[in-house]
Structure 1
Amino acid sequence: MRSTVEVVDNIDESIEYIDTVHGDSKGWITKAEISKLKDFRQWHYRVEDLLKQDFNKEDVYISMSTFYKPMRRIETIKELTNNFIDLDTYKTGFTKTQILMNLEENYFNKLIPRPNLIIDSGRGLALIWNIEKVPHMALPLWKAVQEYLYSQLKEFGADRKALDATRILRVAGSINSKSGTRVTILERYDYKYTLREIQSEFLPDLNEDRQKRKGRPKKLVYIHRERSLYQGRILDLVKLCELRNYDVKGQRETILFLYRYYLCYFYEDEKKALEDVLELNMEFIQPLSEKEVINATGSAEKVFKAKDKQYKYKNETLIDLLEISEYEQTHMKIIISKEEYKRRDNERNKKNYQERLKAQGKLSEKEKISQRRNQIKDLLAEGLKRKEICENLKISIKTYKRDIQFIKKQGK
């Protein structure tokens, strides 16, 4: 049962804010600061250490997601903990009060879920929905929810550049230097959503059953599928670098170009995409210069801005371009050959078959043979002869001889 809206009046709003957003988070959380000289700096903390930091200063932010290592990039996401929308209300011509009254009357629990936190961020508002934590595999669904919330709230100044899962938002209790005011919690709603709950209530077209229907998928479903593809390829490119110990000379430009290309489409934020590309480049054993990276990958951003899909490569093309071996493909999620796909499909079918047998209380052929050979060993130990064992187990002499050969080899 959902609790009622709670108006917050707490001196130490930073602690309450962080506890609401990341109370039981297990991964690294990014804290960032922007100085008066526009110098951007960031650090990474576990939640217990983040709570000890000083937020009584200007322009302090934290990430809405957590990361499995101290690095704020899409492929290092550990937990998706919140959905959020940043409203630049000063661009709308309406006051914050007018917008909140409109949202309360016409949107909350009608077109969108009620936010868990409504934050006065200085010149705007931030709406945050606290969700049961999900791993990075749920990123396409999480992103679909973000897009939906944006589509409903764009008339109130929703910032399209603030939709990605690595985004940082201002911390309640800190100071917005642009407005000269403190970031404050206006309302808190004590309830934790699940992604599936939001999807079911507000984005029903993403239901798996509907996706399987014949005919051309709706635009929302198509974008959801395409985003899943981009996410998988982003993760695969980084995995390839890891498998090669970041020694990728000869293919650095191609990897960075593809990485930037897919990030642009996934983030829809060219600046953030370039930041991540430059960061990945610095992990290479022999990195390119910043100028070389920008020049080598610049066309990826141009294609994205033009909404041109000319680099929509097939897996076979990517495998050839990057010379991905059969072994490396076994560690990939998306960039795999037809042969690797068939191998995985056979493994899944085999596993499903074994699980069905187990559920029915039956044995697989392999388990039957293993059991029979153990019985032969036990009967031999009891002193039974070959003929007696064959009669006892109802097997042929040929099967007995084959099992005995196997038992002898195993005993060596």
Structure 2
Amino acid sequence: MLATNQFTNTISTPLDDFDAFLENPLGYKLTIHQSNTIGNVIKELHKDSEGYIASCHLNKDGKMGQKFYKIDDYECETENAFFSVNTFYTKCRNSNCVYELKGFFSDIDTYKIGLTHEQVIWLLEEDILGIKIPYPTWLISSGNGLYYILKFSNNIKAREDNKINFELKEKWKTCMRFIYDVLKDYGADANAMDASRVLRIDGTYNIKNNKQKEVTILKNYGNTIDDIDEFIDLWLPNEYIKEKPKTLLKAEYTVERVQTLKENGKKYGKSLKKLNLERMRDIMRLVEMRKGDCAGTRNYMLLLFAYHTLQTNQGNLEQALQDTHLLNNSFDEPERTSQVNAIVRTAHKAYLGWLNGEKVLINGKWCRKGYNYTNENLIEKLCITEEEQRKLKTIKSKKLVQEQRNKKRREKRRNEYGLTQREQQKQETIAKIMALKEQGFNNTEIAKRLGIARQTVSKYVNQK
């Protein structure tokens, strides 16, 4: 059962001058939602839920344990406790197992931009809420950051008759991406947008590094939205969603075509295999550079590694399992064997979709299935620094690639003495001028003999 707790209550004071606010942030006080129970958000968000809600607990060793409950039987800890915003059709916290979509959310790390909760909320209410995105149902202090949660008033099922509604889930992802884009300047976390995400429970305590902070509902706006389509109609800009193509033709390179190209050693097959092989090596280099400490990106690395392994070995699932388990063993905290197996199966499913040329809606665009991410996306998802990028082969920003290309071009232009063609010609001309000068010729005579201006001869002679 949900435990009880008591929140403090303060008075809201409006403030018009943000400069004065930065100097005196206490001039703006938050009205903290007053309650005597833990998990008010859970009870309101999931009051009509039919699926399983994940209840997670971070123990003192830093390991996450989880259980699954229906709403009537829900239980949680009072410290470092988390719940899933969406529900699952089975006792497995995985995006493919999501049953009901309960709303939109964003994890805003306010500490990353050096502002307090009060300052960020003031900015959001001034420039964002009700203008670019709707007011949330709740704004919650997670201890170090804020949660933006917007509840659906309708119960939206992402899975019915044992079939996943992929189009609905992609619409949800597109809306989540838009909310992130709006809030990223305020510290929104790019890695907190998956449907299986868990958030801290209001009324519990966030304990980290021996510091205890209360997870508190700071603002209870009570706003809701009917469903995803209403959000798209009212808030989503046109550039985020495009019309579905009339026909979804298979990609140019079908299963047989890719196989034939690889067997014949054609350029497409070779370059594709080389790219995926280098991506695998880059992930291994990244783990090595971080000395196995890949908290927050470990499972994403495993998924990408498994996918690129399958691309390289033409879908050999057994080999992909073996290679991915080897990578998993190189982490400080390896993932469970069963979870690694599930990750590889997910990657295999994506590979088959790519191979058959299937299409999927991603961020408003119909794209070929598979984890074919751009370098910018990989850098953001894996939190790769510029220093790390310089040691990788393929995962680099456009700016760094251009910088390295320019450096190679400059080096290629120079001879064994480090001179460009123009610099070499200049040195040869100076040598000829000085040789003629030693023979007793004056500047005018040297200029006529070499076919250059007299001023040029004078300039080089004076330099010597």
What interval of TM-score do these two structures reach, taking the shorter chain for normalisation?
0.5 to 0.7
Q: Distance in 2 between matches of 1:119 and 1:276?
A: 31
**Cα offset for 1:41?**
0.5
**Does the C-alpha gap of structure 1 residues 74 and 96 become closer, same or farther in structure 2, counting only changes over 3 Å?**
same
Q: Secondary structure at the match of 2:93?
A: coil
Paired amino acid for 2:103: N
**Cα offset for 1:189?**
2.3
**Does the C-alpha gap of structure 1 residues 175 and 291 become closer, same or farther in structure 2, counting only changes over 3 Å?**
farther
Q: Secondary structure at the match of 1:84?
A: strand
Aligned twin of 2:140: 119
Q: Distance in 1 between matches of 2:193 and 2:47?
A: 22
Q: Tell whether the 8 Å contact from 1:73 to 1:276 is kept in structure 2 after alignment.
A: no
Q: Deviations over 1:190-222 (max 9, x none)?
A: 2331211111122142798x62699xxxxxxxx
Aligned twin of 2:116: 95
Alignment partner for residue 211 of structure 1, among 223, 238, 243?
243
- Aligned-pair Cα RMSD in Å: 4.0
Q: Deviations over 1:153-205 (max 9, x none)?
A: 11111011101000000000110002411101111122331211111122142
Q: Distance in 2 between matches of 1:124 and 1:73?
A: 24
**Does the C-alpha gap of structure 1 residues 33 and 287 become closer, same or farther in structure 2, counting only changes over 3 Å?**
farther
Q: Tell whether the 8 Å contact from 1:79 to 1:134 is kept in structure 2 after alignment.
A: yes
Sequence identity (%): 27
Aligned twin of 1:39: 63
Aligned twin of 1:79: 100
Q: Tell whether the 8 Å contact from 1:6 to 1:190 is kept in structure 2 after alignment.
A: no
1:171 aligns with 2:230: no
1:107 aligns with 2:128: yes
Aligned twin of 1:293: 324
1:162 aligns with 2:192: yes
Aligned twin of 2:45: 21
**Does the C-alpha gap of structure 1 residues 32 and 288 become closer, same or farther in structure 2, counting only changes over 3 Å?**
farther
Q: Secondary structure at the match of 1:197?
A: helix
What is the aligned residue count? Answer: 245
**Does the C-alpha gap of structure 1 residues 48 and 295 become closer, same or farther in structure 2, counting only changes over 3 Å?**
same
Q: Tell whether the 8 Å contact from 1:13 to 1:185 is kept in structure 2 after alignment.
A: no
Paired amino acid for 2:204: S
1:134 aligns with 2:156: yes
Q: Tell whether the 8 Å contact from 2:82 to 2:198 is kept in structure 1 after alignment.
A: yes
Alignment partner for residue 87 of structure 2, among 66, 78, 81?
66
Aligned twin of 2:230: 197
* Matches for 1:346-365 after TM superposition, within 5 Å: none
**Cα offset for 1:19?**
1.3
Alignment partner for residue 183 of structure 1, among 215, 220, 229?
215
Q: Tell whether the 8 Å contact from 1:119 to 1:127 is kept in structure 2 after alignment.
A: yes
Q: Tell whether the 8 Å contact from 1:115 to 1:189 is kept in structure 2 after alignment.
A: yes
Q: Tell whether the 8 Å contact from 1:32 to 1:62 is kept in structure 2 after alignment.
A: yes
Q: Which runs of 5+ in 2 are unaligned?
A: 1-29, 159-164, 252-275, 284-295, 306-316, 330-348, 358-367, 370-464
Range moving further from structure 2, 92-101 or 197-206 = 197-206
Alignment partner for residue 11 of structure 1, among 36, 40, 64?
36
**Cα offset for 1:146?**
0.7
**Cα offset for 1:152?**
0.5
TM-score by length of 2: 0.47
* Matches for 1:293-312 after TM superposition, within 5 Å: 293-295=324-326
Q: Distance in 2 between matches of 1:316 and 1:173?
A: 45
Q: Secondary structure at the match of 1:180?
A: strand
**Does the C-alpha gap of structure 1 residues 77 and 83 become closer, same or farther in structure 2, counting only changes over 3 Å?**
same
Aligned twin of 2:177: 147
Q: Distance in 2 between matches of 1:313 and 1:41?
A: 30
**Does the C-alpha gap of structure 1 residues 313 and 66 become closer, same or farther in structure 2, counting only changes over 3 Å?**
closer
Q: Tell whether the 8 Å contact from 2:104 to 2:150 is kept in structure 1 after alignment.
A: yes
**Does the C-alpha gap of structure 1 residues 30 and 212 become closer, same or farther in structure 2, counting only changes over 3 Å?**
closer
Q: Distance in 2 between matches of 1:98 and 1:82?
A: 25
Determine which structure has more spread, i.e. the larger CA radius of gyration.
2
Q: Distance in 1 between matches of 2:172 and 2:50?
A: 19
**Cα offset for 1:55?**
3.4
**Does the C-alpha gap of structure 1 residues 317 and 39 become closer, same or farther in structure 2, counting only changes over 3 Å?**
closer
**Does the C-alpha gap of structure 1 residues 43 and 204 become closer, same or farther in structure 2, counting only changes over 3 Å?**
same
Q: Distance in 2 between matches of 1:316 and 1:287?
A: 19
Q: Distance in 1 between matches of 2:68 and 2:301?
A: 21
Q: Distance in 2 between matches of 1:94 and 1:49?
A: 38
Bigger helix fraction: 1
Q: Which runs of 5+ in 1 are unaligned?
A: 215-224, 230-256, 279-285, 299-310, 320-333, 336-412
